[in-house]
Structure 1
Amino acid sequence: MNPKLLIRFLLLVFILSSLKSTGQDAVEKVAGIPVNYNEALVKPYILPDPLALANGKKVRDTDTWYSTRRPEIIRLFEEHQFGKAPNRKEVSFKVFDSGTAAFNNQAIRKQVTLCFTKDTTDHKADLLIYLPANSKGPVPLLLNISFVPNAVTVDDPGVRKGMMWGRDGKRVPIPDGMSFGRMDAQKFIAAGFGFATIYYGDIEPDFAKGISYGIRGYYFKKDQSYPAPDEWGAIAAWAWGLSCAMDYLETDSDIDSKKVALFGISRLGKTVLWAGAHDQRFGMVIASCSGEGGAALSRREYGETIKHMTDSTRYFYQFCGNRALYGDDPGLSPVDAHMLIALMAPRPLLLQTGTTDNWSDPKGEFLSAVAAEPVYELLGKKGLETKTMPAANVPILHDLGYYMHEGGHGTVPEDYDIFLKFMKMHFSATE
């Protein structure tokens, strides 16, 4: 794909996402499927009890949660939503930048190639890390999974130039001047936190035929051309890649690997929720506008639904095949978003959204957090402690947090101040 066309494509995706979230009548159908933006049309629903065991008995103590109920819920999400992923026994690391001064000597930059397979010439991703230059010990860190390569996410000429995927199934050089997806890494560094980022396309390309180039295709069995109905979709693959990143972070003595916060937006918000739920080494998750398949309740059928997501013209490849079984009736699914949130307990989780992001259903995310609160309480932590949805710019920052900016899908610069406040509450930064 021509680099200029690629920029236009990314901007078009952003614009279309914004249109879907601007108002009640912005979108009436997606993929020929009606979209509901009317609260009066939300049908009554009953959520599965996250503290009810498969045998019907109630979880009343932490031991039963950890030993029995939590593993049950993990298996349900593997089978019915995200799919089972393989182990990571072939992963290795190549450090090619072991520590270089960056940002006017305010930070130390490290760059590591994560090699996902024994053949280190393919299936690999660069992990970019910054640490405060004045830190006196291991530092907490925000790990971002990005829609764009590292050299775009951070404005630093010392970052290795990567390639990115076009929708035509070809890798192309990063277009000159591209700034889509940029983050202010220095804001976190100045607050005493590390910052790291990885490009999701290096793990698995984000289009239906991307499986031919990504890590899932590598694990095909003989004569297999597509994952089985309970095997991993692209979201599980991206989450698997984040666990590979954590495998490296645990080896770096300059990083406090018990205080790594995951961050992702939209489909990558779904990704960090599943990564944090499945891999308990992650100490925190900050999920932005994760919507359907993430923090929003599927049974509400407001905004985007399972049927929209799993339509053959849209994002079916992001989930396991079994997910589509619940498109016509989400109430048949044994899981819903509140159970995904509950899997993060007792670790801190912040759900961030926008007031007009109706497509991602901000109220559905709030209600999901409310329904997950009993698990946080069982484990001695604070849920939202309210059933009244807060106004814009009024964050709830307990162990379970919720925050809406005024506006639509994604993040705005002011959101990062809230993220830092939440991180400081739970991870003491090294000053």
Structure 2
Amino acid sequence: MTTAMKHLMGWCGIGTLSLAIAPLVGSAYQAPVAITVSPSPTAITAESDHRMMMDTLKITSLRRGADSDPKSPFAANTDESKATPYPNLPDPLTLKNGKKVTSSKIWRDQRRPEIVEDFDREIYGRMPANTPKVKWEVVGTTQDMNGDISVTTKKLVGHVDNSAYPAVTVDIQLTVTTPTNATKPVPMMMEFGFGGFPGRRPGTVTPPSGTAAPDWQQQLLAKGWGYAILMPNSVQADNGAGLTQGIIGLCNKGRARKPDDWGALRAWAWGASRALDYLETDKAVNAKQIGIEGLSRYGKAAAVAMAYDPRFAIAFIGSSGEGGVKIHRRDFGEKVENVASSGEYHWMAGNFIKYAGPLTPNDLPVDSHELVALCAPRPVFIGSGSPQVEGNWVDAKGMFLGGVGAGPVYKLLGKKDMGTTEMPPIETPLIDGEIAFRQHAGGHTNAPNWATFLTFASRYIKATPTAAAPVKTSSANRRTNVSPAIPATLQRKVDKTIETISPLKDAFKNKFLIGTILSNAALESRAPGEVDLALTHFDAVTAENSMKPDAMQPREGEFTFADSDKLMEIASKSDATVVGHTLVWHSQTPAWFFQGPDGKPADRALALARMRKHIATVVGRYKSRI
């Protein structure tokens, strides 16, 4: 589009400019050629879009969210005696007219649609009636080993039809892996993945000394399943500035959202449904036995996908917290006010902001137990980590209660509930009913719960275990988009060789540095052995989160350097190079960072000033050492 065309569109207030141009070929006049020019998407920031939504809703200020720092005056509540300011939850089995739901037919035809409407309007937003079609293309196929099982992996791109608005392109990224030697279609677990075209994602567990635990993919393969990994960020960006792009921007033709338009969680769930469309055509996959799994924000998305698409047979919802299956009305860990802030509001419908001011969570027409109820009668597994390791931010009990509250609907439909209303001890599985729960002893990961999930799932998903079948692979046939193969001998027996083998860094000496993170847990001596192991095998380290505001500046202007100084000290003693890492982003940032002195969202100038101060302080302290 020429500059003149852009100016013409702006002057005339034209959304889409149609021109008829009559070209000359030689001296001959040709018939006019119609050209349609789409305007560029509206340029927004998360802060400006959040403020615009507040203005649309006639909201002048919001209540402050909780801080994850326990020393903050606005620290998140972790006292269970103060966690239920609103003890009464909406009844999933009472119609809007006050009548009770007494049959599966009334649930299906009347009450369930009422709940869906409330979630659409107030929580996750409405999916447009005519979303564009997706055309799937297999762009690569590889055969290799994952552990000791031969697998075939297809790399796919889902091209979303953008003919109605060519200014936005959406190409969904998906990988599909099945056991090569399977003799019939296999069950499939679809995961919301982290990063680009992936194989693995963060969240693996260090096995105990002397053993090497198979990862989630290998556990699925051994049971006869396949796995698919969907890249949610290829569907919709995980930030407010991207709301005029991605599938939301494409459907809105680059314009800002209305208050009941869908947010990123609903968009990611839509992407999972489109991936499911493809899997239904894959002859290697049993389309009736496809589950959905996710962790953290993607645990929220997995819950939404399961609730809205009845084709998913089972769900594994990990550490979903606020906005997921945690009860919104609880005040424990992260709460409604956090998700309604400019850092996370893009996950939800704009209307959700209302419940952080002037309304309260108690004004919500539904709560998260009803999201779980929308999954009924299909099986749902809810997982979390230990408060001592994962922390209290995700509110494990709040998620447990989300499952408990859905129980009456499952029982109405002839299924079992969780079997108790009492929170079980850590590592005590509740898997006898269709709603399962387990709190493992680890951190923010699903990894320790996979074995229990597969035991639970075996009641519903029938698969033939896959036998080990090593195959030879040439260098030209190695996987580049899935997990690197691990020799079976190393999977079965480690014999503490990690303690005696030559340092990994020595293998690359004088070629390049090889590095790793040092976590806050390691720096605070809560992860024994991590520092020694890291420095034995790596000659470069970087801070995980210890230089971000959440850890370093929990209150404005009060800097805490203990963890970051420890990192520099450790690196100095071992002659390791310290590599810089992200200092400020939307996460690992306390709530005050995004709020002004009047309690309203910070404007752009204030946010930038705070970013500059934080970055300048960190860089000024360590500039000659990183």
TM-score, normalised with respect to structure 1: 0.83
Distance in 2 separating the partners of 1:118 and 1:311: 31
Contact 1:147 1:181 in 2 (8 A): no
Equivalences for residues 367-406 of structure 1 within 5 A: 367-397=401-431, 398-406=433-441
Partner SS for 1:125 = strand
What is the CA distance between 1:98 and its match in structure 2? 5.4
Query: 1:80 matched to which residue of 2?
Result: 122
Query: 2:197 matched to which residue of 1?
Result: 150
Distance in 2 separating the partners of 1:375 and 1:99: 44
Distance in 2 separating the partners of 1:278 and 1:400: 17
Contact 2:143 2:150 in 1 (8 A): no
Structure 1 residues 91 and 28, CA gap change in structure 2 (3 angstroms): farther
What is the CA distance between 1:88 and its match in structure 2? 3.8
Distance in 1 separating the partners of 2:381 and 2:317: 6
Distance in 2 separating the partners of 1:309 and 1:33: 16
The counterpart of 1:96, out of the listed 128, 135, 139, is: 139
Distance in 2 separating the partners of 1:36 and 1:216: 34
Distance in 2 separating the partners of 1:376 and 1:425: 16
The counterpart of 1:198, out of the listed 214, 230, 237, is: 230
Query: 1:126 matched to which residue of 2?
Result: 173
Distance in 1 separating the partners of 2:259 and 2:121: 8
What is the RMSD computed on CA atoms of the aligned residues? 2.1
Matched, 1:323 2:352: yes
Matched, 1:37 2:67: no
Contact 2:179 2:226 in 1 (8 A): yes
Equivalences for residues 139-288 of structure 1 within 5 A: 139-151=186-198, 153-154=199-200, 180=202, 184-221=216-253, 225-288=255-318
Query: 1:342 matched to which residue of 2?
Result: 373
Distance in 2 separating the partners of 1:420 and 1:384: 17
Report the AA paired with residue 430 of structure 2: I
The counterpart of 1:108, out of the listed 125, 129, 152, is: 152
Equivalences for residues 398-417 of structure 1 within 5 A: 398-412=433-447, 414-417=448-451
Q: What's the CA shift string for 1:286-318, capped at 9, x where partnerless?
A: 000001111111111211111111112x20111
Contact 1:83 1:236 in 2 (8 A): yes
Distance in 1 separating the partners of 2:257 and 2:157: 26
Partner SS for 1:425 = coil
Distance in 2 separating the partners of 1:142 and 1:82: 24
Matched, 1:68 2:118: no
Report the AA paired with residue 116 of structure 1: V
Query: 1:19 matched to which residue of 2?
Result: none
Contact 1:355 1:408 in 2 (8 A): yes
Distance in 1 separating the partners of 2:267 and 2:284: 27
TM-score, normalised with respect to structure 2: 0.58
Query: 1:6 matched to which residue of 2?
Result: none
Structure 1 unaligned blocks of 5 or more? 1-23, 155-178
What is the CA distance between 1:184 and its match in structure 2? 4.0
Partner SS for 1:206 = coil
Contact 2:203 2:446 in 1 (8 A): no
Structure 1 residues 387 and 257, CA gap change in structure 2 (3 angstroms): same
Q: Which has the larger radius of gyration?
A: 2
What is the CA distance between 1:102 and its match in structure 2? 4.5
- The size of the alignment, in residue pairs, is 377
Report the AA paired with residue 148 of structure 1: G
Report the AA paired with residue 266 of structure 1: S
Percent identity, aligned pairs only, is 34
Distance in 1 separating the partners of 2:178 and 2:443: 31
Query: 2:383 matched to which residue of 1?
Result: 352
Of 243-252 and 92-101, deviating more is 92-101
Partner SS for 1:406 = coil
Structure 1 residues 28 and 331, CA gap change in structure 2 (3 angstroms): farther
Distance in 2 separating the partners of 1:332 and 1:33: 23
Distance in 1 separating the partners of 2:162 and 2:282: 22
The counterpart of 2:337, out of the listed 285, 291, 307, is: 307
Q: What's the CA shift string for 1:151-194, capped at 9, x where partnerless?
A: 3x33xxxxxxxxxxxxxxxxxxxxxxxx6457642221121001
Distance in 1 separating the partners of 2:281 and 2:393: 40
Of 39-48 and 329-338, deviating more is 39-48
What is the CA distance between 1:89 and its match in structure 2? 4.1
Q: What's the CA shift string for 1:227-272, capped at 9, x where partnerless?
A: 1100011111111111110111111122111111100011111101
Distance in 2 separating the partners of 1:128 and 1:260: 15
Contact 1:192 1:430 in 2 (8 A): yes
Higher RCO structure, 1 or 2 (CA under 8 Å, sep 6+): 1
What is the CA distance between 1:111 and its match in structure 2? 2.1
Report the AA paired with residue 394 of structure 1: T
Distance in 2 separating the partners of 1:105 and 1:283: 25
Contact 1:136 1:430 in 2 (8 A): no
What is the CA distance between 1:44 and its match in structure 2? 4.2
Contact 2:306 2:314 in 1 (8 A): yes
Contact 2:299 2:317 in 1 (8 A): yes
Query: 2:493 matched to which residue of 1?
Result: none
Partner SS for 1:236 = helix
Contact 2:76 2:333 in 1 (8 A): yes
Partner SS for 2:127 = coil
Query: 2:97 matched to which residue of 1?
Result: 55
Report the AA paired with residue 327 of structure 1: A
Contact 1:141 1:194 in 2 (8 A): yes
Matched, 1:425 2:425: no
Distance in 2 separating the partners of 1:317 and 1:28: 28
Distance in 2 separating the partners of 1:28 and 1:105: 49
What is the CA distance between 1:36 and its match in structure 2? 1.3
Contact 1:146 1:181 in 2 (8 A): no
Query: 2:70 matched to which residue of 1?
Result: 27
Partner SS for 2:220 = helix
